[in-house]
Structures are given as structure tokens and as C-alpha cells.
Amino acid sequence: MLSTSMSDLLDMKMMLLLQSEKVMYISKILSCAVIITLLSIIFDKDKTSNFFVWASLTAFSTLQFSRQSKVNFNQIIGNVIGSIIGIVIWVFMTHVSAHHLYYINLEYWFLILGIFVTTLLCIMLNHSEYCGIALSSFLIVTIYDVAHHTIEGALSRIFFCIIGCLIAYLVDFISRQIEQKWLFYKSQD
């Protein structure tokens, strides 16, 4: 009888923990959305820089659901690596496009080259955990700038992604501080 009630108590505690983890994750996502929206309203009133898109995508993919997994800066490193390689490949593509009639077909070969170089660099740095983020950044920077024929989009995207990562880190840090204080006060009761 005692073991059953102890087991029920543990099950109930685990259920509450899981529920609080879900609530915490939702609150972190919403906090990031509110902060990024406010910054977008202040700095991107015309919605021309796509700050909201790049910062929110980065922030949302940076936040971790599990309490045990803290936000780390692999997102920033992956974004910077992918974006820099994207800029370099973009420069090659624009240079070749001025001299070649079959530019659209060469674009795909440059994209494959960029995918290879990005993957190789992440593996050589022994950080395959941010290879997917780096590849996404590479493709977003390269494809965005090929369509718009401007390098400013790539440079601003790097900056916006770093801001998104920092916002996610700040929100995660503050939520952990609040949770620790709550647990401390709860243990005092």
C-alpha cells in the first residue's frame, strides 16, 4: 500500500514537472516573440529588412524545450560560418554570372560547392552539431542575395541572427533565474 502511494506521488510529481516544462517553454517562445516584435516595431517600421523573420527563426530554433539543455552559442557559430561561406559563394556567383550565359545552371553547382565547404568546415572544426544550422544559413544567405543582387541582405542577416540568438539566450537565462528563485521559495515552505 505504501509503495503504491509513493509511486503515485512520484508519477504526480513527474506529471507536474512535465507540465511546468511545457509552460516554461511556451513562455520562453512567447517572450522571444514579444521582444523581437517590439524591436521590429522600433527599428524596422517599414518591414524592409526582414529583421522579424531572421531574428525570430534563429531565436525559436535556439531555445531548448528540456530544462537540462541550456541555450548555447552553437547557433551563432553555425549562422556565422554558413553566412560567411554564403557571402563568398555569392561573390563567385555574381562574378561568373556577368561572364556566362548559363548562369542558372552554374548557380546550382555553386550551391553544391557551398554545401560541401560548409559541411567540411564544420566537421574539420569538430562541431558537426551546428552543421545543419550552418547549412541553413548558407542557403538562406546565398539564395536571398542571388534573388536581390545585394550583399547587404547577407550582412544584415548575420547581425539579425546574432541578435535572435542573444535574445533567446537572455530569455532562457532570465527564465532559469525565475525558476530557481521559485524553487527556492517553494522549498522554504
Give the pLDDT confidence of 160-185 residue by residue, as tens digits: 888 888 898 899 888 888 878 877 77
Please say whether the beta carbons of 145 and 90 come within 8 A. Answer: yes
Tens of pLDDT, residue by residue over 76-118, are 788 888 888 988 888 887 777 666 655 556 778 888 999 999 9
Mean pLDDT over each residue of the chain, to the nearest integer? 78
What pLDDT, on a 0 to 100 scale, did the predictor assign at position 1? 46
What pLDDT, on a 0 to 100 scale, did the predictor assign at position 4? 58
Greater pLDDT, 111 or 140: 111
Residue owning grid cell 550551391: 111
Query: pTM surpassing 0.75?
Result: no
Q: What is the mean pLDDT of residues 34-43?
A: 92
Q: Which of 122, 126, 144 is nearest to 135 (CA)?
A: 122
pLDDT score of 32 more than 70: yes
CA distance 122 to 82: 9
